[in-house]
Structure 1
Amino acid sequence: MSGVLDRVHLVGIGGAGMSGIARILLARGGAVSGSDAKDSRTVLALRAQGAHVAVGHDGANLDQVDGGPTAVVVSTAIREENPELAEARRRGIVVLRRAEALAALMDGHRVACVAGTHGKTSTTSMLTVALQHCRVDPSFAIGGDLNESGANAHQGSGGVFVAEADESDGSFLFFSPSIAVVTNVEADHLDHHGTVEAYVAVFDSFVERVEPGGVLIACVDDPGAAALARRAAERGVRVRPYGRTASGPGAARLLEHRPDDGGGLASVELTDEHGEVEKIEVRVAVPGEHMAGNAVAALLAGLELGADRAGLLEGLAAFGGVRRRFEFRGRADGVRVYDDYAHHPTEVDAQLRAARPVAGEGRLIVVFQPHLYSRTRIFATEFGAALGLADEVVVLDVYGAREDPEPGVTGELVAEAVPLPPERVHRESSFDRVPELVAGLARSGDLVLTMGAGDVTMLGPEIVTALQQRES
């Protein structure tokens, strides 16, 4: 497929997944063009690397590179009526899904893929940084920007490719990894899969694509991942379990997690294939036991890739996080402001629990933006219960992304489900009023957390500015 990828046009090139493919193609000397709805720092960076990027979608955008594209790459967010996709089909140009293009870029590498309902971006990032500390230069494609490099993708010099594997539309079935990590399997993306059973089944299909002699690394504390591991083992796939309940050959058992200076220290019991047990400590610079679990998964994957254990542990201790994963946005008038991508009830619950010790004696104030109408309708009650872990909650309108609005599905469904006194739950439909609202709620010592997969991330700096104005 290498010839097909000589000249590539990416529709929605500024997105997390598409921009990563563009970066790797550019690093390999390919001609890259694309389009996006608006300019962004990602688009500007891609232009600086040599990509031709148009703002807005138009069939004529396919002619930005001499000769036109040999392939057009689209994500599931791109609808059939998109003028560039329609023009590509009219011209008979090869149209690839994002994962198809990524799978082609993996060719010739030893591939480690990280999948799961939650935690895959952080785990993929941890593995990448840990390998870099072992002087391995992996190629990687991640759904978020590493704080260390500021990039979500890289063309490495070695023979290893680390990738986040997206189950939302089943596109991770294009990959054939030698190492598959599954952090958890919990119902989500039912707008695509339809039923919980279908969602679970796609993970079984993913594990079936593990290369002969490969390994599944699975968190057995999660019922869905534990059941997946059992089924995989019955089919003859080698499994390395991790978590509080992990046991047996190849297991990494988490014995204890101690919060420590904004991060944590995990005591882990490693069991080799002969049953020999060794206790080690894994330091993680980001808060939460769920992050310690992600670090253990990354450690096992790194060991399977043949990396030095000491170097892996050093890299995990130095891991500085991923953009939009409990990312510090600023401090003003004694209030700290963070931003996080959590957009599923389990993620919201885990991140708020991790943020609580960071808040210390201060209160925890969360500004939450529901993501997708279907997810809000299905999980409104669960979102409310998770948000009840905060002291003050501000709920915004639904960020619809690729979906059309559904009658009656609004942020109000979530706000009504939060089990806090009504005066501590604030429903706000106007973005412009949120910074002033939060500045009025927050007291010195409090921690504010903006949360969601949409444009709620824009509010962090504005809240800091509002707090600065209050202070002055």
Structure 2
Amino acid sequence: MGGAGMSAIARIMLGRGVPVSGSDAKDSAGLAALAALGASVHVGHHAATVAGADTVVVSTAIREANPELAAARAAGLRVLHRSQALAAAMAQDTVVAVAGTHGKTTTTSMITVMLRGAGVDASFAVGGTVQGLGVNAAHGSAPVFVAEADESDASFLNYRPRIAVVTNMEADHLDHYGTPEAVFAAFDSFVALLPADGLLVACADDAGSAALAARAAAAGKRTLSYGFSDAAELRIVAGSGEGLATDTTLLLPPAGTASRSVPLHLQVPGDHNIRNAAAAVAVALELGVDVDAALAALATFSGAARRFESKGEGRGVRVFDDYAHHPTEVTAALKAARTVAAGHKVHVLFQPHLFSRTREFAAEFAQALDLADTVAVLDIYPAREDPIPGVDSTLITRRLAAPRSYWPDPAAAVAALAAAAAPGDLILTVGAGDVTAYGPALVAALQAGPASAPGTSPANGGQHG
């Protein structure tokens, strides 16, 4: 129950006065936080833990052999998947469900901060901690529920949204779906869940999302598009970015006979975040939230955990961490890093996530990583997968245009990146695995003083492939 998805459900239930107990394989700050809210928490999985429960909620990661799940089955208890439990928690509310191959967590966080800042105390469940709120989920007093809708295992089909936001749609999670066509079909099924008065908010800049909206409109669904494209109904007028700040203008859909231009100021960088904010404004329009109040609230948004999150600095070098684990996400993160670096170099410590994803997108990862000045690539983070013969990080490094390298030793890679960085440069740790732990290590190495790895750099010190 300490993970992002499960702890979110626990927080919602606790906020509604439901007794909650649960376990995790290891202790964590997340477990301690739930205990402080009144949950009964256990470290380790034991059959006795489910005693007294009438419903057991499990994530996709829990296998049938788990002693608690086995005990629940034997006792005839109700067993719900995480997404089913979340769907039950928001069944009585107006649901805003945010889906898409990329950008779900940030967009869901933005919508939550926007609504709460504009006076709508919405419930929410997000896949990461919302900076400024300090939590990833909470029960609110308003009959609105904002939820991140995860497509990775098709669990988003358990939700019943009134407003569905689709940030983009690309082939991913092929370990579950098998083919890109199956991914696209799942999104069609998601949009089909909208009621007669529902709305699909879709990104006009993304080919997959735009095609999804066209199919939805042909099926009689209401749609509202957003983006930089001239075809977007809520259009982004190109603005300027300096450091972590972004200023641009939104041209809102006509209200009556005229469109309205409004200024958008953000504290997070990158065109992808401008799109995310435009999607949030589209939701505000549909819910009848005052646009000026919505824009003022968005101006306070400082990010979500592991989404271009600052980890500190040393010797004038700033270190950021980003969850990007698909080539499109890596590209967006590095473009944002270029803006923030303002002419200085960008160094990347990248950890591929999943053997299957590395096999499918090695060339695309290399193309994305070539936006950096130096790249150190770690071993693949396996997550739920077993190794695939012939698939390792050199599938990426041997495709990089510049002489970059594979580092089997993370500590050596950290030392090399710290040595390569000069004042004004930026280091970005990238990936959905445990690479996030190396951000603080990089800061510590930088603050320790001059680099202690002479002659070693990400371009010449690792193992080449």
Kindly provide the amino acid, as one letter, of the partner of residue 30 in structure 2.
T
C-alpha separation between the residues in 2 aligned to 1:57 and 1:432? 32
Aligned to 2:463: none
TM-score (norm 1): 0.93
Counterpart among 445, 450, 463 of residue 466 in structure 1: 445
Gaps of 5+ in 2: 452-465
C-alpha separation between the residues in 1 aligned to 2:304 and 2:39? 25
Counterpart among 54, 69, 74 of residue 42 in structure 2: 54
C-alpha separation between the residues in 1 aligned to 2:44 and 2:411? 26
Counterpart among 323, 328, 346 of residue 364 in structure 1: 346
CA apart distance, 1:273: 5.9
The 3 A distance-change label for structure 1 pair 389 and 261 is closer
The 3 A distance-change label for structure 1 pair 156 and 84 is same
The alignment status of 1:43 with 2:31, answered yes or no, reads yes
- Tell me, what secondary structure is at the counterpart of 2:102? coil
1:415-454 correspondence to structure 2 within 5 Å: 415-420=397-402, 422=403, 425-454=404-433
Counterpart among 380, 386, 391 of residue 398 in structure 1: 380
C-alpha separation between the residues in 2 aligned to 1:314 and 1:453? 31
The alignment status of 1:172 with 2:160, answered yes or no, reads no
Counterpart among 426, 434, 439 of residue 455 in structure 1: 434
Kindly provide the amino acid, as one letter, of the partner of residue 21 in structure 2.
S
Kindly provide the amino acid, as one letter, of the partner of residue 59 in structure 1.
A
CA apart distance, 1:126: 0.5
Report the more deviating stretch, 140-149 or 52-61: 52-61
- Tell me, what secondary structure is at the counterpart of 1:470? coil
Deviations 1:108-165 (A, max 9, x none): 1111111100011111110110111111110000011011011000100111100011
Counterpart among 111, 128, 145 of residue 144 in structure 1: 128
Counterpart among 178, 197, 200 of residue 216 in structure 1: 200
Counterpart among 16, 21, 38 of residue 9 in structure 2: 21
Aligned to 2:336: 354
CA apart distance, 1:398: 0.9
Counterpart among 284, 295, 316 of residue 266 in structure 2: 284
The 3 A distance-change label for structure 1 pair 275 and 228 is farther
Deviations 1:390-439 (A, max 9, x none): 0000101111111112122222212222221x2xx131122333322222
What's the % identity of the aligned pairs?
53
Aligned to 1:184: 168
Contact 2:242 2:340 in 1 (8 A): no
CA apart distance, 1:275: 5.6
Contact 1:257 1:289 in 2 (8 A): no
- Tell me, what secondary structure is at the counterpart of 1:24? helix
- Tell me, what secondary structure is at the counterpart of 1:313? helix
Deviations 1:191-235 (A, max 9, x none): 101110010000110001012211101001101000000000011
Contact 1:216 1:239 in 2 (8 A): yes
C-alpha separation between the residues in 1 aligned to 2:386 and 2:76? 30
C-alpha separation between the residues in 1 aligned to 2:278 and 2:254? 15
TM-score (norm 2): 0.94
Q: Please report the RMSD computed on the Cα atoms of aligned residues, expressed in angstroms.
A: 1.4
Number of equivalences: 451
C-alpha separation between the residues in 2 aligned to 1:338 and 1:239? 36
Aligned to 2:321: 339
CA apart distance, 1:89: 1.1
Contact 1:27 1:155 in 2 (8 A): yes
Aligned to 1:6: none
Contact 1:257 1:292 in 2 (8 A): no
CA apart distance, 1:57: 2.0
Q: Which runs of at least 4 in structure 1 moved beyond 4 Å after TM superposition?
A: none
1:83-94 correspondence to structure 2 within 5 Å: 83-94=67-78
Aligned to 1:8: none
Kindly provide the amino acid, as one letter, of the partner of residue 13 in structure 2.
L
Kindly provide the amino acid, as one letter, of the partner of residue 308 in structure 2.
F
Contact 1:246 1:252 in 2 (8 A): no
1:233-382 correspondence to structure 2 within 5 Å: 233-247=217-231, 251-272=233-254, 274=256, 276-382=258-364
Contact 1:332 1:471 in 2 (8 A): no
The 3 A distance-change label for structure 1 pair 51 and 255 is same
Contact 1:439 1:470 in 2 (8 A): no
C-alpha separation between the residues in 1 aligned to 2:393 and 2:4? 25
C-alpha separation between the residues in 1 aligned to 2:394 and 2:270? 29
Aligned to 2:188: 204
Report the more deviating stretch, 311-320 or 268-277: 268-277
